């Protein structure tokens, strides 16, 4: 045995996944486990001001995916940094040890940190805070699928809450490709058996894509279809984000 | 200009007449608090011996076996317990174990940066595990599955989501609440000796032999409840905020259990000294606060049961 | 870390606008690719690829391992890219870690397909020897020795060349009587199985400078980019992965256009690369 | 004074293990001391005050840093806690306004651990600070008190006693100016006015038990501080003293 | 890979049939070949190969091979000091060195973290050795970075790195008082052995690494592990010095050849 302790649910989960995979790959039409249609997102719950120690913060809950993002700054850059006449954006994503079904290490997720940075850097007007750094720290409390898009959307909301200048809010949505079908906003179980995935982050008001990643095998028309689906969902999500910001602004007035 | 925080009393009070409150608070924090305390009120309108509003909600993390979210004022703690199976050591073959870890992720405070864990995090971590073990809140024998073969190890991970003083109080309270909420999964053993979970329907279908049919909940006896006080001159300030902790450096944490035993008196140095009378006073505050916390915890549990 | 003067920048941008880049190439033309295989004798397969002044080495090592619990019918492949400080002084210390991680992730995304394994360049199920018991673990290690832009495309080409150079020894597995017993493994040192690399895609990075996009950018050209899109295209013209780099946003229609350009360019590059690999293999024999 | 039940090592409940303190052992350090209580031995070295404070410390005061070196292995959570307790304890006995914007480092090397490690380390660091000439308000004296099952109290616990006992406390008292004037007994009527600097407890105990510990602790600390004072006053070249 | 160059000088050092080693493919075969070479008990040096200018973006670079050990060195600088905190002395150039091993450089694949103890130690050794020959006083307030990357490790990586670094520094045009070359020698089965490979090195015998300033005939680096009687040690060290001299001869030829090429390119 490799580890001295183990989670007793491993076996059951494996069976469940295999069953699901078999089911999904055979059928072309099925119901999603949470009753949504293929092009329906999970209900989104967004709030700003989740942690008052930060300059700005936001909490996002999409189904069981729960994320808190705090934004600190603009504040002094690290001493080792060289002079820069534009500001720096520093992103860090951490998962709690209990975020996933198997207990994790609770360490930084470098890959997501880099992706978050790429998705946001095009939207933040770095010229407005020269020589300083804005820190965007995300903590995934629970991972329930589509984690990265939720982190990105939540982070841009937190940036807005902190009053950092941006060209537009960044909203992000992912789709999974399973068999012939394209599923929007996939859950964990769906992500495990996906054949391909596409994550898109965009600034809807400017119709610009700030980040796009794609895995699996895709044809050109299919990419087109998935991107349109995502852009559409991003636009709607941005609307929800905007009303959340307005709400908190009204409250503080 | 003389701005020493220790002796700046007179100069500061003299200047206070022509100064905005916020500026005075920033420049002369100690006289600012002194003047408040002398009138038995705190900047957030609390009296010296009242704690901030405390809420407990159980089960916020679905992927954990037990979890709780505790807020004391703005201080927010999320505790979750995940159960894993281990082979018990030969000395305590019929006992499980508890592994406690306390995290301060960078989101909780501007002082914490990624890659450099906060200085106090390991200290609180150690304090938590000491108190949980000292109080014998959890009977480790209840975590045993098959004597000598398999027992539960409860990984208790407490995350500070927002740090605004009295971190240990919130952390211990969330840990206690998470243990109260803990639901032990039904398990069975396969021929290789590995333990695996059994869902309800599976059990009906296959008639697997269950290992722990009765032991689904831990019997939590002797729940420990903490109160942190700041000692400043002759005042005892209950449940300090981060600002109060930073300005008035001496703090003392008292943990009592429901039987009235003293689980811990923790006073790591500090300028102020704790005399017998002070400690007695703190203990009586703790007793009062314990009654409130008990009710809050019971209410949280009853809300869960209604759902 | 490329310091260019205003004049140089203008020259570069102007050249790209007029479809004549500073080294004489057109916008959609690759630098000549040079492949050498079998450069690391202790690896199962290895290759060195040079694109202009960019030089990378890839090595494939195969070890016998146990399939993961979640995928008992699949072998494991992991890709690690390392940026040697020799390539640029900023990769010294921990400076290269971020880029190394980014390249590793991008390569894994392009070569290993979706989570279910669909669209993977390397057929993971072909790596399994006994289901749930024994499989090959492929460790793909790549090293950037010299860097002059377009690292991702060069790395993908080097990995493809290294894979076609790879021979996995034939293995005879004798299962033990009880399920707990470790199976006996007999590794042949004479018979080798070749890898089929026809499904391995090529990565084409399109760098957007001004209004135009160019392929195979040098580091000077990369310093002028607004954004870049790396597309991995396999022989059938299917897209196997896509990564966007650079901060500036792109219009969705531009992205789609870039993808179709990449698809077009990939045909020429793939055939060039394949013939280079074949030539290298022949000289290696 | 309770039952005089003999302990494993033959001491009675009130008896401390043999104390030893030697100073100025290390050449490079500005001050150093080795303190032993039986087989628990700690070596403390003081460097500083050096210019500047670390980030997050108040630059208007002198700041301290404590580095704990375990006997073997890596520093863990327990050691980090000890570092913090030691730092705050020492901060409270030093005059912080004398050298503002400086940092004094105290390196604590555990040589032997046979229980009462934290009290021993506090005593050693205190002696090392005196040796380094760091301005201090008063000395701090630390003691461990264990609470027996039937309520009696034993002092200066060994490791095996710490493991067996239901509850024990590490207490740190200031050595008050009272002890400077010899032969003024701490009478029972006189309450402990100066109070405790530091308190760390393990295990649940009745509230009265804790106050018993405090009473007994303060008496024992008077003896320890007497020893400390004598050993610090000795200016012999050898500088080593041993308690009977 | 070009044709293996024959060792130009000193007939006493015969090449231990490098061809067979290079043609091998699998780790098993390599190990077998290495072990068989062990039984030959060769006194000679493995074949050498040096190449200048392998990294185009670097100010100076070189590839150096000693048998199966193959390293690349790149030099960046002299340039402005990046981190002022590292500056020790205002009157001298700051020399930095970083040694790294590729994941695939050894037979057993291991993922090694950057800056482990071994590589820190070797970095320090190389830095101190190179500092001895660089005229640091001529370049005050500047910094020279030397990066060495091991592509294949088969014993004597330290020596190969120092030789590569010398070539790279010369390529970068960094002023040096002399060229430093290095070679190792060991003592196995009562025979002093020159230029140990991995199998010989791991046999547990002593390993003496020597670095010399070739023209000045001075030893700047001397490292040894394990025990050796004093008189034997002298023999082994002498052997290593002979090896260094042979390497120096070869390096000089490469540099000369390189200069000639530069000259002809400029002339045309």
A109: confidence class by pLDDT, cuts 50, 70, 90: confident
Kindly report the nearest CA distance between residue E232 and chain C, in angstroms. Answer: 34
What is the distance between the alpha carbons of residues E183 and E242, in angstroms, rounded to a whole number?
Answer: 9
Kindly report the nearest CA distance between residue E32 and chain C, in angstroms. Answer: 12
The domain that holds A95 is classified in CATH as 3.30.230.70
Q: Which helix (H) or strand (E) holds C252?
A: helix C252-284
Residue E3 DSSP code? P
B150: confidence class by pLDDT, cuts 50, 70, 90: confident
What integer is the mean pLDDT of A7-24? 64
Inter-chain touch C249–A208, beta carbons under 8 Å? yes
Mean pLDDT of chain E: 81
Nearest chain C Cα to E113, which residue?
C94
Q: pLDDT at position A110, please? A: 87
CB pairs under 8 A between A and C: 123
Q: pLDDT at position E1, please? A: 38
A81 touches chain B (CB under 8 A): no
Q: pLDDT at position E183, please? A: 93
For strands C202-209 and C212-215, give the pairing.
Answer: antiparallel
Residues of chain B neighbouring A141 (CB-CB closer than 8 A): 60-61, 78, 159
Range of the domain at A59: 35-252
**Cβ neighbours of A42 (radius 10 Å):** 21
Q: Is A20 helix (H, G, I), strand (E, B) or coil?
A: helix
E22 touches chain C (CB under 8 A): yes
What is the distance between the alpha carbons of residues E10 and B199, in angstroms, rounded to a whole number?
Answer: 80
Model confidence pLDDT, tens digit, residues A173-188: 999 988 888 889 998 8
A185 touches chain B (CB under 8 A): no
What is the distance between the alpha carbons of residues A57 and A160, in angstroms, rounded to a whole number?
Answer: 9
What is the distance between the alpha carbons of residues B197 and B190, in angstroms, rounded to a whole number?
Answer: 10
Four-residue CA torsion sign, A41, A43, A49, A52: negative
- Residue showing tokens 């997720």: A109
Residue A61 phi/psi, 5° resolution?
A: -135, 115
**Any bridge partners for residue A5, and if so which?**
B86
Domain ranges of chain C: 8-284
B117 touches chain D (CB under 8 A): no
**Any bridge partners for residue B224, and if so which?**
B257
Token pair in block for residue B286:
């703790």
Q: pLDDT at position E40, please? A: 36
Q: What is the DSSP string of E82-136?
A: S-GGG---TTS-EEEEEEEE-TTSSSS-----TT-HHHHHHHHHHHHHHHTTB-G
For strands D19-23 and D167-174, give the pairing.
Answer: unpaired
- Residue environment code for E218-232, b if the CB has 16+ CB neighbours within 10 A, otherwise e: eebbeebeeebeeee
Q: Which helix (H) or strand (E) holds E231?
A: helix E230-267
Q: Is A143 helix (H, G, I), strand (E, B) or coil?
A: coil
For strands C227-233 and C202-209, give the pairing.
Answer: antiparallel
Report the percent of chain A where pLDDT is more than 90: 53
Q: pLDDT at position B16, please? A: 55
What integer is the mean pLDDT of C238-260? 88
- Taking the alpha carbons at both ends of chain C, their separation in whole angstroms is 40
The yes-or-no verdict on residue A229 having pLDDT over 90 is yes
The yes-or-no verdict on residue A156 having pLDDT over 90 is yes
Mean pLDDT of chain C: 86
Q: pLDDT at position C117, please? A: 67
Q: pLDDT at position B146, please? A: 84
Token pair in block for residue D237:
């070249």
Range of the domain at B188: 184-216
Mean pLDDT of chain D: 84
Q: pLDDT at position E32, please? A: 41
E3: confidence class by pLDDT, cuts 50, 70, 90: very low
**Subunits in contact with chain D (3 or more CB pairs closer than 8 Å):** B
At the topology level, CATH places domain D19-235 in Ribosomal Protein S5; domain 2 (3.30.230)
Q: pLDDT at position B215, please? A: 64
Inter-chain touch D191–B275, beta carbons under 8 Å? yes
Q: pLDDT at position B208, please? A: 63
D182: confidence class by pLDDT, cuts 50, 70, 90: very low
Q: pLDDT at position E150, please? A: 93
A24 within some domain: no
In CATH terms, C8-284 corresponds, of 3.90.550.10, 3.30.930.10, 3.40.50.300, 3.30.230.70, to: 3.30.230.70
B202: confidence class by pLDDT, cuts 50, 70, 90: low
Q: pLDDT at position D11, please? A: 86
**Cβ neighbours of E261 (radius 10 Å):** 12
CA-based nearest residue to A73, from E98, B110, C192, B105: B110
Model confidence pLDDT, tens digit, residues D201-230: 998 899 999 999 988 888 888 889 888 888
- Residue environment code for C52-61, b if the CB has 16+ CB neighbours within 10 A, otherwise e: bebbbbbbbb
Inter-chain touch B159–A139, beta carbons under 8 Å? yes
Residues of chain C neighbouring E97 (CB-CB closer than 8 A): none
Inter-chain touch B252–D200, beta carbons under 8 Å? no
Nearest chain A Cα to C117, which residue?
A195
What integer is the mean pLDDT of E67-78? 92
- Residue environment code for A59-72, b if the CB has 16+ CB neighbours within 10 A, otherwise e: bbbbbbbbbbbbbb
Q: Is A242 helix (H, G, I), strand (E, B) or coil?
A: helix
Residue A100 DSSP code? S
The yes-or-no verdict on residue E25 having pLDDT over 50 is no
**More confident: A27 or A53:** A53
The ipTM, to two decimals, is 0.84
Model confidence pLDDT, tens digit, residues D26-41: 988 999 999 999 999 9
Residue E114 contacts by C-beta under 8 Å, 6 or more apart in sequence? C93, C94, C97, E100
Inter-chain touch B197–A50, beta carbons under 8 Å? no
What is the distance between the alpha carbons of residues D44 and B163, in angstroms, rounded to a whole number?
Answer: 34
- Taking the alpha carbons at both ends of chain D, their separation in whole angstroms is 22
A13 within some domain: no
Q: Is E35 helix (H, G, I), strand (E, B) or coil?
A: helix
What is the distance between the alpha carbons of residues E260 and E265, in angstroms, rounded to a whole number?
Answer: 9
Q: Is C22 helix (H, G, I), strand (E, B) or coil?
A: coil
What is the distance between the alpha carbons of residues A183 and A38, in angstroms, rounded to a whole number?
Answer: 5
Inter-chain touch C244–A223, beta carbons under 8 Å? no
Mean pLDDT of chain A: 86
Q: pLDDT at position E37, please? A: 44
The reply to whether omega before E78 is within 30° of 0 (cis) is yes
Model confidence pLDDT, tens digit, residues E203-225: 778 889 999 998 888 999 999 88
* Angle, vertex CA A81, rays to CA A79 and CA A85, nearest 5: 120
B253: confidence class by pLDDT, cuts 50, 70, 90: very high
Four-CA torsion A240, A68, B293, B112, nearest 10 degrees: -150
Helices (H), A51-204: 110-121, 147-161, 188-192
Helices (H), E146-229: 157-172, 198-201
Nearest chain E Cα to C38, which residue?
E25
**Subunits in contact with chain A (3 or more CB pairs closer than 8 Å):** B, C
Q: How many domains does chain B have?
A: 1
In CATH terms, E46-262 corresponds, of 3.30.230.70, 3.40.50.1970, 3.10.450.50, 3.90.1150.10, to: 3.30.230.70
Q: Which helix (H) or strand (E) holds D242?
A: strand D240-242
Q: How many domains does chain A have?
A: 1
What is the distance between the alpha carbons of residues A16 and A190, in angstroms, rounded to a whole number?
Answer: 12
Kindly report the nearest CA distance between residue B192 and chain A, in angstroms. Answer: 12
Token pair in block for residue E111:
């993922």
- Residue showing tokens 């407490």: B158
Interface-testing mutation among A20, A216, A229, with chain C (most C C-beta atoms within 10 A)? A216
Q: pLDDT at position A155, please? A: 96
Model confidence pLDDT, tens digit, residues E231-242: 889 989 999 999
Model confidence pLDDT, tens digit, residues B76-122: 999 999 998 888 888 888 888 999 999 999 999 888 888 777 888 99
Q: Do chains A and B touch (3 or more CB pairs under 8 A)?
A: yes
């Amino acid at each position: 045995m490799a580890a001295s302790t183990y989670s007793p649910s491993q076996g059951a989960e494996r069976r469940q996944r295999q069953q699901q995979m078999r089911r999904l790959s055979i059928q072309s039409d099925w119901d999603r486990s949470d009753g949504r249609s293929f092009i329906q997102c999970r209900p989104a719950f967004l709030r700003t001001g989740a942690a008052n120690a930060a300059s700005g913060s936001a909490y996002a809950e999409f189904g069981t995916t729960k994320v808190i993002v705090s934004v600190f700054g603009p504040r002094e850059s690290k001493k080792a940094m060289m002079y820069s006449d534009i500001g720096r954006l520093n992103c860090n994503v951490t998962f709690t040890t209990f975020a996933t079904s198997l207990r994790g290490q609770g360490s930084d997720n470098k890959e997501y940190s880099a992706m978050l940075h790429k998705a946001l850097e095009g939207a933040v007007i770095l010229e407005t805070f020269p020589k300083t750094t804005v820190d965007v720290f995300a903590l995934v409390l629970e991972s329930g699928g589509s984690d990265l898009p939720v982190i990105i959307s939540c982070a841009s909301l937190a940036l807005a809450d902190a009053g950092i200048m941006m060209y537009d809010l960044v909203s992000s949505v992912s789709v999974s490709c399973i068999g012939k079908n394209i599923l929007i906003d996939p859950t964990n179980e769906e992500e495990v058996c996906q054949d391909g995935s596409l994550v898109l982050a965009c600034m809807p008001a400017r119709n610009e894509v700030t980040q796009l990643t794609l895995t699996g095998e895709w044809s050109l028309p299919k990419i087109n279809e998935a991107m349109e689906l995502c852009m559409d969902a991003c636009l709607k999500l941005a609307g929800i984000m905007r009303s959340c910001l307005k709400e908190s602004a009204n409250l503080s007035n | 200009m003389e701005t020493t925080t220790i002796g700046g009393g007179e100069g500061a009070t003299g200047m206070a007449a022509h100064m905005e409150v916020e500026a005075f608070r920033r420049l002369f924090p100690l006289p600012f608090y002194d003047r408040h305390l002398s009138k038995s009120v705190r900047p957030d309108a609390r009296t010296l011996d009242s704690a901030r509003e405390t809420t407990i909600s159980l089960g916020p993390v679905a992927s954990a076996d037990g979890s709780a979210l505790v807020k004391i004022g703005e201080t927010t703690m999320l505790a979750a317990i995940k159960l894993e199976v281990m082979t018990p050591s030969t000395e305590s073959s019929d006992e499980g174990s508890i592994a406690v870890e306390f995290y301060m992720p960078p989101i909780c405070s501007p002082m914490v940066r990624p890659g450099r864990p906060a200085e106090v995090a390991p200290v609180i971590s150690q304090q938590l595990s000491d108190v949980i073990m000292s109080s014998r809140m959890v009977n480790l024998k209840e975590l045993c599955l098959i004597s000598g073969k398999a027992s539960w190890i409860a990984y208790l991970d407490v995350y500070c989501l927002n740090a605004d003083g009295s971190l240990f109080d919130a952390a211990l309270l969330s840990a206690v609440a998470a243990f109260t909420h803990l639901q032990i999964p039904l398990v069975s053993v396969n021929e290789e000796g590995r333990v695996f979970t059994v869902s309800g329907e599976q059990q009906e279908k296959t008639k697997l032999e269950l290992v722990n049919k009765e032991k689904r909940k831990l019997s939590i006896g002797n729940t420990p409840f903490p109160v942190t006080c700041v000692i400043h001159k002759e005042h005892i300030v209950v449940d300090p905020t981060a600002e109060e902790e930073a300005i008035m450096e001496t703090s003392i944490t008292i943990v009592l259990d429901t039987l009235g035993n003293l689980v811990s008196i923790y006073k790591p140095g500090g300028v102020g000294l704790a005399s017998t009378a002070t400690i007695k006073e703190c203990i009586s505050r703790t007793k009062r606060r314990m009654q409130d916390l008990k009710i809050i915890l019971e209410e949280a549990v009853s809300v869960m049961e209604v759902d | 870390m490329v310091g260019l003067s205003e004049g140089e920048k203008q020259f570069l941008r102007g050249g790209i606008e007029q479809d004549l880049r500073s080294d004489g190439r057109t916008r959609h033309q690759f630098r000549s690719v040079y492949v050498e295989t079998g450069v690391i004798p202790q690896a199962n397969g290895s290759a060195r690829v040079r694109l202009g002044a960019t030089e990378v080495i890839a090595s494939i090592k195969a070890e016998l391992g146990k399939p993961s619990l979640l995928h008992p019918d699949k072998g494991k492949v992991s890709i690690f890219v390392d940026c040697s400080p020799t390539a640029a002084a900023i990769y010294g210390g921990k400076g290269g870690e971020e880029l190394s991680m980014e390249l590793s992730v991008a390569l894994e995304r392009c070569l290993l397909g979706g989570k279910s394994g669909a669209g993977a360049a390397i057929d993971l199920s072909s790596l399994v020897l006994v289901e749930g018991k024994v499989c090959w673990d492929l460790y793909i290690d790549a090293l950037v020795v010299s860097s002059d832009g377009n690292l991702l495309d060069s790395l993908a080409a080097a990995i493809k060349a290294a894979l076609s150079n790879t021979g996995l020894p034939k293995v005879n597995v004798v299962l033990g009587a009880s399920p707990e017993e470790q199976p006996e493994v007999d590794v042949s040192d004479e018979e080798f199985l070749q890898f089929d690399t026809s499904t391995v895609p090529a990565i084409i990075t399109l760098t957007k400078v001004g209004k135009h996009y160019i392929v195979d950018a040098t580091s000077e050209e990369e310093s002028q980019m607004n954004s870049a899109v790396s597309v991995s295209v396999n022989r059938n013209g299917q897209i196997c992965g896509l990564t966007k780099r650079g901060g500036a946003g792109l219009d969705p229609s531009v992205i789609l256009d870039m993808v179709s350009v990449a698809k077009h360019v990939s045909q020429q590059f793939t055939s060039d690369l394949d013939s280079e690999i074949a030539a290298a293999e022949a000289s290696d024999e | 004074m309770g039952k005089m039940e003999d302990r494993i090592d033959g001491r009675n409940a009130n008896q401390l293990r043999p104390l030893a303190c030697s100073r100025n052992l290390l050449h490079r350090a500005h001050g150093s001391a080795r303190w032993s209580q039986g087989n628990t031995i700690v070596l403390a070295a003081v460097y500083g005050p050096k210019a500047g404070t670390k980030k997050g410390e108040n630059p208007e005061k002198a700041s301290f840093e404590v580095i704990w070196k375990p006997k073997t292995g890596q520093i863990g959570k327990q050691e980090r806690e000890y570092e913090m307790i030691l730092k705050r304890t020492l901060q409270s006995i030093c005059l912080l306004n004398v050298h503002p914007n400086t940092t004094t480092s105290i390196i604590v090397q555990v040589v032997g651990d046979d229980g009462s490690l934290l009290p021993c380390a506090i005593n050693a660091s205190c002696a090392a600070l005196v040796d380094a000439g760091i301005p201090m308000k008063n000395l701090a004296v630390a003691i461990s008190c264990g609470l027996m099952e039937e309520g009696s109290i034993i002092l200066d616990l060994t490791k095996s006693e710490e493991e067996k006992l239901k509850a024990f406390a590490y207490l740190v008292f200031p050595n008050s100016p009272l002890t400077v004037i010899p032969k003024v007994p701490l009478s029972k009527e006189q309450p402990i006015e100066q109070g405790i600097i530091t308190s760390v407890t393990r295990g649940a105990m009745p509230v009265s038990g804790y106050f018993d510990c405090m009473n007994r602790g303060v008496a024992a600390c008077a003896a320890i501080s007497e020893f400390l004072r004598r050993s610090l006053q000795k200016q012999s070249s050898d500088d080593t003293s041993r308690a009977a | 890979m070009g044709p293996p160059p024959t060792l130009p000088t000193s007939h006493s050092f015969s090449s231990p049939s490098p061809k067979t080693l290079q043609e091998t493919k699998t780790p098993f075969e390599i190990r077998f070949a290495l072990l068989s070479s062990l039984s030959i008990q060769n006194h000679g040096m493995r074949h050498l190969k040096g190449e200048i200018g392998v990294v185009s973006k670097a100010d100076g670079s070189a590839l150096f091979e000693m048998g199966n050990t193959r390293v690349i060195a790149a030099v960046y600088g002299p340039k402005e000091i990046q981190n002022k905190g590292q500056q020790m002395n205002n009157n001298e150039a700051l020399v930095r060195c970083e040694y790294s091993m590729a994941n695939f450089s050894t037979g057993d694949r291991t993922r090694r973290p950057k800056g482990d103890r071994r590589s820190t130690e070797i970095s320090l050794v190389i830095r101190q050795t190179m500092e001895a020959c660089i005229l640091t006083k001529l370049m005050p307030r500047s910094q020279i970075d030397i990066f060495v990357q091991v592509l294949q490790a088969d014993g004597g990586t330290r020596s190969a790195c120092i030789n590569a670094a010398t070539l790279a520094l010369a390529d970068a045009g960094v002023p040096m008082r002399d060229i430093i070359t290095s070679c190792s020698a060991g003592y196995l089965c009562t025979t002093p052995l020159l230029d140990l490979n991995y199998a010989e090195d791991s046999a547990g015998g002593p390993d003496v690494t020597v670095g010399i300033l070739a023209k000045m005939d001075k030893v700047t680096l001397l490292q040894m592990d394990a025990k050796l009687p004093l008189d034997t040690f002298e023999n082994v060290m002498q052997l290593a010095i002979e090896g260094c001299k042979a390497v120096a001869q070869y390096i000089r030829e490469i540099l000369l050849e390189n200069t000639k090429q530069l000259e002809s390119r400029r002339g045309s």
